[in-house]
Amino acid sequence: MDGSQIQDTINNKLTFKASPKLLPIRPLQFVESLLQRQGKSLINISPHHMMNMAIKKSGLSDWGEENFQEPMQIFIESLEKEAHLDFLGRLILSRNTFGVLYNRLCIQDEIKNNQNILREEIKRPLFIVSLGRTGTTLLHYLLCLDPSIRYLHVWEANAPSLHPKLRLKNIDNRQQGAKRAIWLIEHFFPELSLSHLMSEDGPDECVTLFLHTFFTGVFESVAHVPTYINWLKDHDKLPSYLYYRKILQLLQWHKGGDHWVLKAPMHLANLDVLLKAFPDACIVQTHRDPVKVIPSLCSFSAIVNQALSSDNISYKYIIDHVPNLWANWLEKAMEVRKASNQSQFYDIHYRDLMNDPTGTVKKIYDYFGYHYDSSMERRISQWLANNKQHKKGVHRYTAEQFGLNASEIRERYSRYIKEYDIPQED
């Protein structure tokens, strides 16, 4: 099937429909499209402008380590040249860029004024490191029901440190801000809430923290930025993991726990770097038939790109890129695991997790020697009863929508399937 045929197939068969642009936005969308034809825009997202705005708004100017500036420059250049951002896309990405720059200034100010933060020890953190759509969100939520552990709340992931004036007045409105943000997503981008569980006080993926380094492949999930992604491949990711560790130290300094429980699919591509930053990490990897996983990841990528940044999306790029990206990540992870301490890894099959979630959690605790509180069984049962699968609707997708063939997917992932003896799903 050639590119045009694939595009026609997708256009005719996609089951999701991106939400129409909000009525007040539509005139601005039109004006933005006219300005872009002249090489102009209603919204300035240049690095210089964004940094100056963060300094002006915060009244702070110490960035600390400044190795974020080069990746930020490359990312924004890639956005301008390749992402085909519409007005809403520019608005969202400019606000996000400003937000992480503002956060960096607040983080640096708090660490500079509290030297004990960097003395915090991150001991035996538990990482869920897997293909997306393999039960990782369910497992993450269940593990975070343990009151003795520490997890990353959605509201603190969005703003790890308060502005010094708010800290001085003991004012913290981050939970209300996260609640508003989730409400907006659920009402105006419902496709996202169907494909990913969200709660303002629930656990968040730690990819949000990596946004503060501008050194993360997660940007690929919100916009078409191939130049940035290619640049990223050839650069050392350890500085970004060390900054990520520093944020965890800051958060732990405010509130500790027996150990951290963290989750992000992107760690799969960087297991070697993760183990350098956290030598005593405990790693759980979930596994599932790639034929069930890859179409869902393609659909999620299309939804996020279309909802957040642009109406001009190359579905063919998604189809060509997503299956190979995850296969490469898995193959790299397999090599790292072979060269690492095997006792630091624990594997879970998706069907085992779904058939016995409580037993799966207990096995993880037993394997790594974490203290298991007997109240966890009651907590898990109650949570499962209150959070039935597809409670808010169903994220619908098929391999055929994306011109994908089951046998071709299994062939591309044959090494992974064989390595972990992954059963075929109906």
> Chain-centre distance of CA 253, in angstroms?
24
Q: What is the pLDDT of residue 94?
A: 94
Q: What is the DSSP letter of 203?
A: B
- Say if 261 falls within a structural domain: yes
- Say if 129 falls within a structural domain: yes
- Say if 1 falls within a structural domain: no
Give residue-wise pLDDT tens across range 69-120: 999 999 999 999 998 888 888 888 999 999 999 999 999 999 999 999 999 9
- Say if 247 falls within a structural domain: yes
Integer Cα distance of 208 and 26 in angstroms: 29
Query: What's the average model confidence in pLDDT over 310-331?
Result: 81
Give residue-wise pLDDT tens across range 181-206: 888 777 766 666 555 567 778 899 99
- Say if 16 falls within a structural domain: no
Q: What residue numbers bound the domain in which 392 lies?
A: 21-419
pTM for this prediction: 0.90
Give residue-wise pLDDT tens across range 53-79: 999 999 999 999 999 999 999 999 999
Coil, strand or helix at 293: helix
Mean pLDDT of the chain: 87
Closest CA to 301 of 327, 272, 328, 322: 322
Integer Cα distance of 325 and 321 in angstroms: 6
Please compute, for residue 167, the number of CA atoms within 13 A of its CA located in the half-sphere on the CB side.
Answer: 14
Query: What are the CA-CA distances from residue 386 to residues 230, 260, 389 (Å)?
Result: 43, 25, 10
Integer Cα distance of 240 and 276 in angstroms: 12
- Say if 9 falls within a structural domain: no
On whether the CB atoms of residues 239 and 215 are closer than 8 A, the answer is: yes
Integer Cα distance of 373 and 375 in angstroms: 5
CATH classification of the domain holding 413: 3.40.50.300
H or E stretch at 233: helix 226-233
Give residue-wise pLDDT tens across range 243-280: 999 999 999 999 999 999 999 999 999 999 999 999 99
- Say if 378 falls within a structural domain: yes
Domain count, the chain: 1
User: Please, which pLDDT band fits residue 297 given cuts at 50, 70 and 90?
Assistant: confident
Give residue-wise pLDDT tens across range 1-48: 444 444 444 444 444 444 555 556 777 777 777 788 888 889 999 999
- Say if 15 falls within a structural domain: no
